[in-house]
Each structure stands twice: as structure tokens, then as C-alpha cells.
Amino acid sequence: MKKILIFFFFFQSLSSQHDVIIKKIFDTSLTKSKAYEWLDYLSNQIGGRLSGSLEAQRAIEWSKSELDKLGFDRVWLQPVIVPRWVRGPKEFALIETDPGITFNVPIAALGGSVATPSVGLKANVIEVFNLKDLDSLGKKNIDGKIVFFNRPMDPKYISAFTAYGRAVDQRALGAMEAVKYGAIGVIVRSMTLRLDDYPHTGGLTYGNLPLSKRIPAAAISTNGADKLSNLLKIKPDLKFLFRQQSKQLPDVKSYNVIAEKKGSEYPNEIILIGGHLDSWDTGDGSHDDGAGVVHSMDLLNIFNSINYIPKRTIRIVLYINEENGGRGSEKYKEISDKQKLNHIFAIESDAGGFRPLGFSFTTNNNNFLKLLEWKKYFAPYFINVFIKGGSGADIANLKSENNVLAGLRPNSQRYFDYHHTEIDTFDAINKRELELGSGAIASLVYLFDQFGIR
């Protein structure tokens, strides 16, 4: 009986010790976070930073210099060869219902797309909703036309990311598939749940298609897509004209930015916190993924503020080229494997700077069941949604049999209002919501640092 009591008190006091430290972490994140001022700089002084651009290089140098101030053992640049795609001058598009009767609509070239002829590309339009619609329509209906993919994201999914995942095949694969049936261009409804006037860019792939066979592809705003669809119903032979001068330049050298603080007790066990430094060029990349960059940078700032010295090795990795290549992620993995590094836990923030609701995890069942015991530490902050499935695009390749990968899961409802558009800017960031993300990540990292993988 006595023994049990002692054990009980011991357990209680341990448990409340963690409660106390996590409370300190959140207090600190809401009062001494640097995330908001860093993101202000990254968004407003550097701005959009597509891989290979001067802005990307500035972001690399700036983030290294900020990390240098935080007391890491080492901050370095890991060379990565990245693709360099440039948008060129602002794109132009119009619907022509009769000669001289036209409506301008907002478009943005999809990342990786080839240019149209310099006078623009003008053709009839065929509207489809699925990649397999191409099969049923066949070459006779598609040849020589612009294919207009117009399936909206389904508003019934609670996670806007799920709705995105179920719609984005049109953007990623539409051009590659449509060209098989003789299409000469592709227009894709923007990936957002809103009706608005902002085209949402994003990557496409042409697969192995030779350069000469590639057709230009652009996103059209949802209001523009609805207009085009409605006009097609009463005027199926209308013409669509669009002009873009985007092109793929030769690959260039760029960098992942890495900061490391060696663990005081278990230096060979690495905990990685990451986001991606590159962004699309249309806006400032504040939510995608400036938020993840500053969440990651904030980790040691918060630990320093509460005088917490990690037992395990902490690595901050700001990946390059998430948006159009994933080369930063590949390079990091390649070097890690060569060095036989042991990442026991990695977390990525790449779902925006909105109010965090919890985390998603990729790990084995045993680990996940143990993780569920930690939900209680996050309950006071209403950040205790712990679900299986998914971490982040950059860290997913670090999966091992026993380790844990995680993604911060903020409220997703507004994310696709901004995603890959000119309005993904600093004014769309709420300071407290951003800071709670820093607190959530630092708290989970603290627990992994305390307990390791059991």
C-alpha cells in the first residue's frame, strides 16, 4: 500500500512537472515569440521566393543569419540543385463570345507550364470535370481545343485539405492527360472553396512528355470558371484566349538551411522541426509556408526563454523547393542516409499559420497508442486533436520502422482562401494564432525530448 502510494505521488509530481513546463512554453509563445516579427520580415521585406529566384536566395541568407543569433552549435547551408521556373509578365485571358465581344478573366500560369505563343493561344473550349471525362469525350471532341477542368472542391469535407486532395488531380495531371487527345491548352478551376477573383497557381507535371509536346496550362479564378461555364452553356462555340510567357530555365544551385543544437544526453537521437523556405511567386507565401519557417525558427527561441536545455539533438531544417520539385527534401534525406542519422521524431508545419487544433502522425500503432497519452497535456489549449495519417511533404521520406513523423494541424477552413495566390500575404496572419502554433510544436518537441521513443 505504501509503495503504491509513493509510486502514485511520484507519478503525479512528474505529470504535473510536464504540465508546468508546457504551460511555460505556451505563456512564452504568447509573449516572447519572434514568429510574428520574423514573418513580417520574410513576407514584407523578401516576399514570394520561388526556387532559384533572388528572393529565395535572400530568404536563405536572412534565415541563416537569424538562426545564427539563437545559440545553435552550428548553422549551415546544405547545397541543393533546384529547378528554376519563371512566370514572366502578368498573364492575360479573355472569353470571346462573338468577335469583339469579350470578358476578361483572371488567370495564373501553373508552375512548370510552358508559354503560349507570344500573341496568345485562342481556341474553342471543352468543359470537363474529371480526368476520365477525357476518355469518354475522346479525340473527336477534344482535338484542337482548350480543355477546361471545372470540378469544384467538395465543400462537404470538414478538412479543406481533403477537399483539395480530391480535386487537385485536374491541376497536377490535366495538361499531361489532355494532350493525349489533341488538346492545345488547359484551363483549371482554382483550388479553393471560395468564389472569388484570385487565380490559384500550383505545380503541374508533364511526366515524360518532350518539350515540343507540352501544352500551356493556367488556373482560372472560381468566379472566372463559373462565368466561363455559364457562357459555354448558351454559347458552346465561344473562344478562349490566353497568353503567358512562363518558362523553365536551367537548374541552379540553392540550399536547405539547417541549424543544430547537440543533445546534452542523447546527441545521436535527432528531433527535426521543419518547414519550407521556398514559396510561389504570386503572393508573399506568408501562410505557405512562411508560417512553418518561423514556427521552426521559434523553437530554440522559446526553449532559450524558459532556459530549457534539450537532452536530444535538435535540428531545424528549412527546406528549399517544396513547391515545385521537392529537391531539398530529397537532398536532406540523401545526406542523412549517408551519415546514418537517427531521426527519432520529425515535425513539419506546412498547413498555414492558423489556430492549431492538433497534430497528425505517421508512426506504428504502438507508438500512436502511447502518443494518445499525451493528449492530456494539450487539452488546456484545445490543441488535442491527435489523428493518424500524414506528416509533411518534406519530412515524409524520413519514415523508419520505429520513429514518429508529425504535422501540425491548424484550422484549415481559411487556408485555401489564400493558398498560392497574391493574397497569401502577412495581413492574412493572426499573431496569436501563429504564436499558438509555435507553442504547440515546442510542447510536443519538449515531450519527445523528455521521453524519446519508448
Specify the stretch interacting with its own copies by CB under 8 A; choose among 10-18, 229-237, 291-299, 407-415.
407-415
Q: What nine digits make up the cell of 108?
A: 495564373
Specify the stretch interacting with its own copies by CB under 8 A; choose among 249-257, 298-306, 378-386, 421-429.
378-386
Instruction: Please tell me whether residue 385 binds its own copies under the rule CB under 8 A.
Output: yes
* H/E stretch holding 101: strand 101-104
SS3 for 165?
helix
Instruction: Please tell me whether residue 21 binds its own copies under the rule CB under 8 A.
Output: no
322 part of the active site: yes
Q: How far is the CB of 375 from its own copies (least distance, A)?
A: 12
Specify the stretch interacting with its own copies by CB under 8 A; choose among 173-181, 244-252, 340-348, 406-414.
406-414
Provide φ and ψ at 359, rounded to 5°.
-140, 150
Whole-number Å distance between alpha carbons of 106 and 108: 7
Instruction: Please tell me whether residue 431 binds its own copies under the rule CB under 8 A.
Output: yes
Whole-number Å distance between alpha carbons of 255 and 278: 10
Q: Is the peptide bond before 289 cis (omega within 30 degrees of 0)?
A: yes
The site map against its own copies for 193-232 (x = CB under 8 A) is: xx--------------------------------------
> How far lies 254's CA from each of 57, 165, 277, in Å?
7, 29, 11
| DSSP string for residues in 196-207 | -S-----B---T
Instruction: Please tell me whether residue 26 binds its own copies under the rule CB under 8 A.
Output: yes
Instruction: Please tell me whether residue 355 binds its own copies under the rule CB under 8 A.
Output: yes
Instruction: Please tell me whether residue 381 binds its own copies under the rule CB under 8 A.
Output: yes
Work out which of 3, 4, 31, 211 binds its own copies, going by CB under 8 A: 31
Which amino acid is it at 322? E
Specify the stretch interacting with its own copies by CB under 8 A; choose among 201-209, 263-271, 283-291, 353-361.
353-361
Whole-number Å distance between alpha carbons of 241 and 271: 51
Whole-number Å distance between alpha carbons of 110 and 325: 14
Provide φ and ψ at 439, rounded to 5°.
-65, -40
Catalytic residue among 322, 323, 348, 435: 322
Work out which of 6, 20, 101, 158 binds its own copies, going by CB under 8 A: 158
Q: Which residues are marked as active site?
A: 322
Interface residues with its own copies (CB under 8 A)?
26-27, 30-31, 155-156, 158, 160, 193-194, 355, 357-358, 380-382, 385, 411, 413-414, 417, 430-433, 436
